[in-house]
Amino acid sequence: MTMPMLETYPAEINLDRAKLAATIDALIACAEACTACADACLSESSVAELTKCVRTNMDCADICGATARVVSRHTGYDANISRTLLEACVMACKSCGDECGSHAGMHEHCRICAEACRACEAACRDLLAAMG
C-alpha cells in the first residue's frame, strides 16, 4: 500500500517515490520482525542468554516504527528530522542485525530478524544517499 499512497500525494515529493516507498516498506517489515523476534526470544528456554537480543529488538522496532511514520509525512517536511531518524535507524538496524546474527545458528527467528535488519539498514542508507 505504500507506493499507491505515495502516488496519490497531491504535492511534489522531493525524493524518488519508489525509493521512499521501498524504505518505508523495509522499516515496517523490520519493526514487525524485531517485535516478533523479541517475543520469540522471551519464549525460548535460554531466555536469560537473550536479554540483550530482546532489548536490541525492542529498540530497533521502536526506532523503525517511528521513522516509518515520520518519513511517510510530507506536508511541512523537515529533511533534517528525517535524515536524523534514518541515521538512527541505520545504527539500530546494524546493532540489532549483529546481535540477532550472533544467535542465528541456534534460533531461526533471530536469523530472519537479522536479515530484515540488514535489508532495512541498506534501504535507509540508500534513501539517505538520495537525500544528499
In a domain, 69, yes or no: yes
Q: pLDDT tier at 74 (50, 70, 90 boundaries)?
A: confident
In a domain, 87, yes or no: yes
> In total, how many domains does the chain have?
1
For residue 124, the enclosing domain spans 16-131
> Would you say the pTM of this structure is higher than 0.75?
yes
Q: What is the DSSP string of 37-54?
A: HHHHHHHSTTGGGGHHHH
Radius of gyration of the chain (CA): 15
Q: pLDDT tier at 64 (50, 70, 90 boundaries)?
A: very high
In a domain, 1, yes or no: no
In a domain, 70, yes or no: yes
List pLDDT tens digits, range 114-125.
Answer: 999 999 999 999
Amino acid at 63: I
So what's the pLDDT on residue 114? 98
End-to-end CA distance of the chain: 26
- CATH number of the domain residue 105 falls in: 1.20.1270.360
Q: Provide mean pLDDT across the span 10-24.
A: 91
In a domain, 3, yes or no: no
Is the pLDDT reported for residue 110 higher than 90? yes
